[in-house]
Structure 1
């Protein structure tokens, strides 16, 4: 058992509330010190850099990037006019796969990784309780959701400021808003994107309770992500597609309308809450009944 894990056990030797700040801090340190986690954040930070450089090269001869529509990746057509649009473009580019894949890796490894390493039973030696440990693991995954999203947003804002002009921007509706308001909307969009991954995090945590192999849990979670993304593109399944956790992910583009369209945003957040409740409960039921041998 490592020093950090021993500290977690020591901090847990207290009355058994459902939350322990010391245990949460220990989990955060353990998660964000892993090379795998740092590598995932590095890849996410690199995406806006690559997009920004590609747009800069494409438009260096005075031409413009033409994209149709007004949602998601179509923000790319506005980057040359205002670098703040790189934030929206980078989030739209990473949300369908890169961001949820990173969440799937961290969530899938949350319980199964401990079991595979032989440290799970040590975390449960003290009267910390399985419920508290599971809640702490989920809170850690949610923290990673927020950090990963902000890494993409901050990287995109930095690259956008370096390569393109900043200033007032035009919304999808055609109205002009100030740079400060645009920056506020960018932050709100980042928070909505992070919240859009709550359901994915709960699904990954549930899968993590089903096996003692971290690799198997991560692969299964990412596999489910890919499967859902494919099914969400099949027209014949339109009746059930609104219930897929990824269906409303790009609804964050509605925050760039004036006035804001809230319908799909509310549906997205409600769907994420539903997935979190269902798969969070399933993870609790499985984990509290699991025979921990490792």
Structure 2
């Protein structure tokens, strides 16, 4: 596991994606700071109109902006490359020579992708907080329920939101791993994973497919608003975790069935 994480985080591509994610809160904070007009309430992403009054909202706004597209793209790239990338490089059969076995390799690859989900989300949240502190005043945060919490607790809420989004991306990472076992072309697996994330979100916004919404892995991606109420409601967090666990098991079973019966020639 440690070796796989070392390989993942030594790649320039991984750091390029993390830097691109870090640029999102910096761009939001800079744009608001340089703007000569305050953001009208209700315009732009949620919380954007509060950024100039309290810099702690930069991280929350950046996470909200990143969830639909930017975070799924980076997770899709990492997850889609797990098995297909090794096959494309011709190193997969050498990995399987070790007594670790195919199941353990799948578990290690998925664990590394899960760690990246957390790293990507925390990067957006942490850089958002730093940019907000550097460019705007910081003070108590007014929650969606109307209650006010201190700076320390608001930072804890930001970490909870990052954890919530990380859990939300675990199902997508499992899907990417499963797709990666079907091809030796990593770009194809990456693209398919990202396309599925977009299709899930499109379907989630179509009222004609309301019967399907509870089963879509993106159903609760933006449900972290419950973490910004007093007291915190954990219902959505639990529902999201249960849904993602279902996708992890289903995609894991597909990956297992495919990979354990696959002839590895490269």
Under TM normalisation by the shorter chain, which class is it? over 0.9
Report the equivalent of 1:205: 177
> For the residues of structure 2 that align with 1:133 and 1:265, how far apart are their CA atoms?
29
Alignment partner, residue 181 of structure 1: 153
CA deviation after TM superposition for structure 1 residue 64, in Å: 2.5
Per-residue deviation, residues 235-270 of structure 1 (Å, max 9, x unmatched): 211111121111111111210111223332222111
Give the structure 2 partner of residue 118 of structure 1: 90
Structure 2 residue aligned with 1:159: 131
Farther-moved stretch of structure 1 (253-262 vs 97-106): 253-262
Query: Which stretch of structure 1 is more off in the superposition, 145-154 or 253-262?
Result: 253-262
Match of 1:47 in 2: 24
Residue 55 of structure 1: CA displacement?
A: 1.5
Is 1:67 matched up with 2:45? Answer: no
Residue aligning to 1:57: 34
Structure 2 distance, partners of 1:136, 1:277, is: 15
Alignment pair present for 1:287 and 2:259:
yes
Partner Cα distance (1:229, 1:286) in 2:
27
- 1:144 corresponds to which residue? 116
Residues 72 and 169, structure 2, Cα contact 8 Å, conserved in 1: yes
| 3-state SS, counterpart of residue 182 of structure 2 | coil
TM-score by length of 2: 0.97
Paired with 2:221 and 2:40, the residues of 1 have a C-alpha distance of 23
5+ residue gaps in structure 1? 1-23
Structure 2 counterpart SS, 1:82: coil
Shift, 1:108, TM fit? 0.3
CA apart distance, 1:31: 0.8
Residues 100-159 of structure 1: CA distance to partner in whole angstroms, max 9, x if unpaired? Answer: 110000000000000011000000111110011110000000010011111111110110
**Alignment equivalent of 1:252, drawn from 221, 224, 231:** 224
Equivalent of residue 267 in structure 1, options 234, 239, 255: 239
SS in 1 for 2:59: helix
Distance, in Å, in 2 between the alignment partners of 1:127 and 1:199 is 28
What SS does the aligned partner of 1:283 have?
helix
1:31 equivalenced with 2:8 (yes/no): yes
Q: Does 1:239 align with 2:216?
A: no
Q: Which runs of 4 or more aligned residues in structure 1 lie more than 3 Å from their structure 2 counterparts after TM superposition? A: none
**Alpha-carbon separation, structure 2, partners of 1:92 and 1:244:** 19
Question: How well do the aligned residues superpose, as a CA RMSD in angstroms?
Answer: 1.4
Q: Which protein shows a greater Rg?
A: 1
**How far off its partner does 1:202 sit?**
0.3
TM-superposed CA distance for 1:68, in Å, is 2.7
Partner Cα distance (2:32, 2:10) in 1:
33
Q: Which runs of 5+ in 2 are unaligned?
A: none
TM-score by length of 1: 0.88
Distance 1:215 1:47 in 2: 24
